Amino acid sequence: MSRRTFILLALLPALIYVAFHFLSPSRQLAASQNRLLSAIASKNAETVGKLLDPNYSDQWGFQSKDWPGILQDLRTLAPVLEITAREPHIDADNGVVETLLTVKGQGPAAESMQTQAATLKNTRFIWKRASWTPWSWRLTGIQNPDIEIPSGYTPGRIADTAGF
């Protein structure tokens, strides 16, 4: 056995461990969750769109097609925004991330958003894998009965909504 073959065989368990560790469904679900929060905070509609399942729907009646308008409104309400997950509980078997959210920002509604986020209980993000690959997680819904959206709100038309 050549020295090169011996070194490759010796490194194989380490490579398998690293691949298993970084490609685990839980780790990839956590990474998708972090990408989503970062994309929402930066109002990146393209990235959010890639993370949403085409059949996305939530308790407020929004669908995946509404997200560009929601992000547009966030640009108006809080041009500078940071959203972080605190104490996330990740259940990759069921595709659920439950977490407290911390919101910091600047803008006309940033203080109100920060105050509301501080009083929220866990927000539930529901994901599913789009394929067998561990990084193919897509968001199918968000749930939190404590988040109040003013009635009459239409994504992309924040100026027309009373209460903002």
HEC readout, the chain: CCHHHHHHHHHHHHHHHHHHHHCCHHHHHHHHHHHHHHHHHCCCHHHHHHHECCCCECCCCCEHHHHHHHHHHHHHHCCEEEEEEEEEEEECCCCEEEEEEEEEEECCCHHHHHHHHHHCCCEEEEEEECCCCCCCEEEEEEECCCCCCCCCCCCCCHHHCCCC
At 26-68, the pLDDT tens digits run 999 999 999 999 999 999 999 999 999 999 999 999 999 999 9
pLDDT of residue 18: 56
Q: Is the pLDDT of residue 23 over 70?
A: no
The reported pTM is 0.83
| Average pLDDT score, the chain | 88
Q: How many residues does the chain have?
A: 164
Domain 3-160: top CATH class: alpha beta
Listed by start position, the domains of the chain span 3-160
Q: Is the pLDDT of residue 9 over 70?
A: no
